[in-house]
């Protein structure tokens, strides 16, 4: 199947002259800000602009000037000269940042829903038997399509065959962090930890100069790597200070029991003993940290990725997001994999994230809407070490933005635009998505992927999965 569903050439293939995608030369690795200014200025006008800068500045009606892959300027009043594009009063905000995902697992979406032991009964056997590099590419393309359509412009992934995940993210035009999973259970792409690290180093080398893709180490979790491997990752990370590390942490009660039994302490403390708690770490979930754990995480500058829907669906309780934030810990909002959270847009995470904290706090006040939107934009960017480049609309930052139609009556009246985004906006309200100055979607049409082929390839794989599930069920009875 390879790249059937992907309209653009892959990394490493011959490209048309003029840049990665034949349209926006500034995306070519090595392009500089000086070069950018030579390009046409695109001015988006007549928009309601939420900048998500520190002061939450809004421009309404506002304009935003884009040069190459960057935001040159923005404001209200008369727009400057350039190629004007009227936004018709639509909302423009930063593209959302999803700092924890397993993109290829779209292929498992909705499988064995409500079944408690589905991981061991279905998912791991299916992964071992059927997940190849080609399958990963197919699942990633389906995820990329959904991310673009749902207003996510940056995604952090951790799975297997991440070079192929990187290829698809590149072809789709998204911005991404690709994480080589390291685990001591049998993985589809490596059989020893040395193999795993070799893959990780290849990944880091291959995407070293890519303007939109960043390699990352992704030890699965303390209980599935152990102290030694975490320590080896910590060492690797110290040698690669510009690359993030991703790890599940304090996610399950089994994990706590394992740490207590094996080391007589918490799983967060084990991770710290391995030296992996640094400002480069994005810790996914953090459902069960103790007060002392949270103090430690804050002291070490660790970032969190909160996966509201996935946590809720698993019945694992409510992550202490407000307690983490109160300690100054940066918390990005994420989706987890589509097997866990089903869908990959962040709009669907906003209301659950807010409601869970209000339920836990017994009041309407915790985690107000503007903080929820910060988590989906600036704080996700900070989690991935990209706060200086993305997450808000400010001069000099990358032009990663989304255009949201305000046409649906469900959105009105708008007394508070952050409430509207949190509790009423759907991913389908996203009308256009831009990454690095390039439109990946306009009027709901994704230009970088062949949607029909992507879906058809995915359904073909799903049929193979289904056949294996029937076999598993037949064997079990």
Question: Using CB under 8 A, which residues numbered 206 to 245 contact a copy of itself?
Answer: none
Separation CA 165–CA 229 (nearest Å): 24
Site for a copy of itself in 367-386 (CB under 8 A): 368-369
Among 315, 443, 474, 476, interactor with a copy of itself by CB under 8 A = 315
Nearer to a copy of itself, 352 or 391 (CB): 352
Q: Is there binding between residue 445 and a copy of itself (CB under 8 A)?
A: no
Nearer to a copy of itself, 218 or 373 (CB): 373
Nearer to a copy of itself, 73 or 343 (CB): 343
User: Which residues make Cβ contacts (< 8 Å) with residue 9, sequence separation at least 6?
Assistant: 15, 16, 171
Separation CA 25–CA 13 (nearest Å): 17
Nearer to a copy of itself, 41 or 464 (CB): 464
Nearer to a copy of itself, 387 or 426 (CB): 426
Beta pairing partners, 177: 156, 214
Among 206, 358, 453, 468, interactor with a copy of itself by CB under 8 A = 358
Separation CA 108–CA 304 (nearest Å): 25
Q: Going along 274-351, which residue ranges are E strands?
A: 281-285, 303-306, 331-333
Q: Nearest 5°: phi and psi at 236?
A: -60, -40
Site for a copy of itself in 319-348 (CB under 8 A): 341-345, 348
| Contact string (CB under 8 A) for a copy of itself, positions 253-292, x = contact | ----------------------------------------
Nearer to a copy of itself, 78 or 363 (CB): 363
Among 28, 273, 361, 447, interactor with a copy of itself by CB under 8 A = 361
CB of 317 vs a copy of itself, minimal distance in Å: 6
Cα dihedral 155, 142, 163, 35, rounded to 10, equals -60
Cβ–Cβ < 8 Å for 432, 66: no
Cβ–Cβ < 8 Å for 310, 335: yes
CB of 409 vs a copy of itself, minimal distance in Å: 5
The CA radius of gyration of the chain, in Å to the nearest whole number, is 22
Nearer to a copy of itself, 213 or 344 (CB): 344
Site for a copy of itself in 42-71 (CB under 8 A): none
Helix (H) or strand (E) holding 63: strand 58-67
Nearer to a copy of itself, 32 or 363 (CB): 363
- Piece in contact with a copy of itself (CB under 8 A), picked from 80-88, 108-116, 293-301, 387-395: 108-116
Among 205, 359, 467, 470, interactor with a copy of itself by CB under 8 A = 359
Total number of residues that touch a copy of itself (CB under 8 A): 71
Site for a copy of itself in 123-162 (CB under 8 A): 142, 145-146, 149-150
Residue 263 tokens, joined:
């080391």
Separation CA 52–CA 168 (nearest Å): 29
Among 366, 380, 385, 391, interactor with a copy of itself by CB under 8 A = 366
Query: Shortest CA distance to 66 belongs to which of 378, 393, 392, 391?
Result: 393
User: Which residues make Cβ contacts (< 8 Å) with residue 443, sequence separation at least 6?
Assistant: 431, 432
| Contact string (CB under 8 A) for a copy of itself, positions 403-442, x = contact | -----xxx-xxxxx-xxx-xxx-xxxx-------------
CB of 355 vs a copy of itself, minimal distance in Å: 3
Query: Shortest CA distance to 233 belongs to which of 289, 279, 193?
Result: 193
Nearer to a copy of itself, 128 or 365 (CB): 365
Nearer to a copy of itself, 348 or 398 (CB): 348
User: Which residues make Cβ contacts (< 8 Å) with residue 99, sequence separation at least 6?
Assistant: 156, 177, 282, 303, 305, 332, 333, 334, 380, 383, 384
CB of 288 vs a copy of itself, minimal distance in Å: 12
């Amino acid at each position: 199947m390879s790249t059937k569903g992907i309209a653009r050439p892959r990394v490493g293939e011959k490209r048309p002259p003029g840049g990665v995608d034949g349209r926006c030369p500034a995306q070519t690795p090595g392009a500089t800000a000086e070069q950018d200014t030579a390009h046409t200025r695109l001015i988006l006008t007549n928009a309601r602009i939420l900048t998500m800068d520190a002061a939450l500045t809004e421009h309404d009606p506002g304009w935003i000037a884009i040069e190459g892959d960057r935001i040159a300027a923005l404001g209200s009043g008369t727009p400057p000269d350039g190629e004007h594009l009227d936004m018709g009063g639509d909302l423009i905000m930063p593209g959302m940042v999803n700092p924890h995902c397993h993109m290829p697992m779209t292929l498992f979406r909705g499988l064995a829903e409500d079944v408690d032991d589905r991981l061991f009964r279905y998912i791991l056997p299916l992964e071992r038997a059927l997940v190849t590099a080609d399958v990963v590419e197919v699942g990633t393309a389906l995820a990329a399509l959904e991310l673009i359509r749902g207003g996510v412009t940056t995604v952090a992934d951790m799975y297997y065959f991440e070079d192929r995940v990187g290829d698809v993210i590149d072809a789709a035009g998204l911005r991404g962090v690709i994480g080589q999973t390291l685990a001591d259970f049998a993985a589809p792409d490596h059989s020893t930890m040395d193999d795993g690290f070799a893959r990780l180093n290849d990944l880091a080398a291959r995407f070293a100069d890519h303007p939109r893709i960043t390699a990352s180490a992704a030890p699965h979790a303390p209980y599935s790597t152990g102290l030694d491997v975490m320590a080896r990752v910590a060492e690797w990370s110290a040698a690669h200070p510009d690359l993030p590390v991703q790890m599940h942490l304090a996610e399950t009660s089994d994990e706590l029991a394992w740490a207590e039994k094996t080391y007589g302490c918490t799983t967060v403390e084990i991770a710290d003993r391995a030296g992996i708690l640094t400002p480069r770490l994005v810790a996914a979930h953090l459902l069960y940290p103790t007060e002392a754990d949270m103090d430690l995480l804050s002291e070490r500058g660790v970032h969190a990725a909160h996966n509201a829907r996935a946590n809720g669906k698993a019945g694992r309780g409510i992550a202490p997001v407000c307690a983490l934030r109160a300690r100054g810990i940066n918390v990005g909002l994420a989706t987890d994999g589509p097997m866990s959270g089903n869908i990959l847009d962040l709009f669907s995470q906003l209301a659950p994230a807010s409601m869970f904290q209000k339920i836990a706090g017994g009041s309407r006040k915790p985690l107000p809407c503007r903080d929820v939107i910060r988590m989906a934009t600036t704080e996700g960017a900070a989690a991935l070490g990209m706060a200086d480049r993305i997450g808000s609309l400010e001069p000099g930052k990358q032009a990663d933005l989304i255009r949201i139609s305000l046409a649906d009556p469900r959105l009105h009246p708008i007394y508070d635009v952050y409430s509207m985004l949190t509790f009423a906006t759907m991913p389908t309200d996203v009308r256009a998505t831009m990454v690095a100055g390039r439109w990946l979607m306009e009027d709901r049409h994704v230009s970088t992927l062949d949607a029909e082929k992507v879906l058809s390839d995915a359904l073909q794989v799903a049929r193979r999965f289904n056949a294996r599930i029937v076999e598993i069920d037949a064997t079990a009875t």
